[in-house]
Amino acid sequence: MKKNYRKFAGVLTALCISTVWTAGCTKYEEIDMSQVKETAAQEGSSLEETQQPPAEQALAEETGEGSAPGISALEAPMAQAPAPNFTDVSDTVYIRGSQVRLRTSPTTASTNNISAVLNNGTALSRTGDSDDWCRVNYQGATLYVSKAFVTTQNTAGTSAGAGTGNSGSGTVNQAATAASTGSGSTGNAAGSGAAAGTQTADKTSITVDSSWRFAEFSMIKTGAATLYKSTAENRKGITVCVNAGHGTNGGGSVKTLCHPDGSAKVTGGSTGAGAVKAIAVSSGMTFKDGTPERDVTLALALALKPKLLAAGYDVVMIRESSDVQLDNIARTVIANNTADCHIALHWDSSESDKGAFYMSVPNVASYRAMEPVASNWQKHNNLGENLISGLRGAGVKIFSGGSMEMDLTQTSYSTVPSVDIELGDKVSDHSAGTMEVLANGLLAGINSFFGQ
């Protein structure tokens, strides 16, 4: 049956392409119908897929990685439709579902127009409305989102507890728990198949889903991160991933590809320029007083978490102990699929008390043209600039201009705003009081980035 269905789809494709070119239709019609299967399932299906309207269920179907793409009766008219006419509006809509994609043009015929991936409950300023699309403003950019995945009511945090453990005592982040409910499609590289999650009263354990984009590049991925949901009255529906650098036993003896396309590093660092593979997770440096860097990054992460929760952010903690079996790619992939930004905490190996700075995206044409860097590098740098501004405002010493260009594994695989921030070096003070100051500065930078 599937084989005959695909054969029919192929015939339909040829007929449609022929019709498009002879009719001289708009550019939104000039598409190969076999490419249309990159649809709303990759844009993010909601947790309770069985409760979606029938049209949304059809749009959320996936053929699976490596199989020939099919085409539904619903998708054909979507792909052939001319450019939509938008009515100007001015209101607020909220993302409905997990890992919903915002695009630079109102079409799902290509993945090249994906600009951002957002989670359930994220508020957007809507400026235009059509039959199938909303025109929205996000971080100063005009983008488009399928109307199937927005609502005028903020539904963040309203789905019932699911999974194992004390499932009735809390709400569950949709992106982190669809696997535990049995819903969500598999084979979705964008993450709408959802994370494997175990719900307890106040937190959700998140493990790497093998269907997630870039998950196959990770070599150490048996560990789990933890999602905490804010109980603040001003809960924002925004999730911040806090990554305490280092802290993976055995990570120094394993290597992973520096870039997903297999190309070589364009700058030096802990791994030299020209290398194709880098250490999966380094052990980090040791402060002059003998304290391992992994302990200090963890101390800051633990100081930052309660401040974020109190401010209304949900938080994904990559690590809350001395060891988590997640390499740099696994950590990045978890952030990509569960959070709205990814902040990795580090200290530099110099001994000059140089101050804080972030690792900016190298100004190298080939690197900035490589996906997913091409679609996200400006967001990475924008996040870094906001964090430095927040730290500066808290009285933290800033190194030079506040940034240093560096080709990092984290940046090379990130599809959400992501930054490695260095909070000082080997001789910098890392007392509990300093952790509080740094955490306050980072919170201020996060608030600034999200316009809070």
Residue-wise pLDDT for 10-37, tens only, equals 444 444 444 433 333 333 333 343 343 3
Return the pLDDT at 40.
37
Number of domains in the chain: 2
Residue 388 covered by a domain: yes
Residue 442 covered by a domain: yes
CATH of the domain at 348: 3.40.630.40
Residue 409 covered by a domain: yes
Is residue 196 pLDDT above 50, yes or no? no
- Domain extent for 1: 1-35
Return the pLDDT at 118.
84
Is residue 282 pLDDT above 90, yes or no? yes
Distance from the Cα of residue 337 to its chain's centroid:
5
Return the pLDDT at 153.
77
109 close to 76: Cβ distance less than 8 angstroms: no
Residue 299 covered by a domain: yes
Average pLDDT of 190-199? 41
Give the C-alpha separation, 219 to 237, whole Å: 31
Average pLDDT of 62-88? 49
Residue 295 covered by a domain: yes
Residue 196 covered by a domain: no
Out of 46-55, 365-374, 392-401, 416-425, least confident range: 46-55
- Closest C-alpha among 195, 169, 174, 171 to residue 122: 174
pLDDT band at residue 78 under the 50/70/90 scheme: very low
445 close to 421: Cβ distance less than 8 angstroms: no
Mean pLDDT of the chain: 78
Residue 73 covered by a domain: no
Token pair listed for 173: 């982040």
Residue 232 covered by a domain: yes
3-class secondary-structure state, position 196: strand
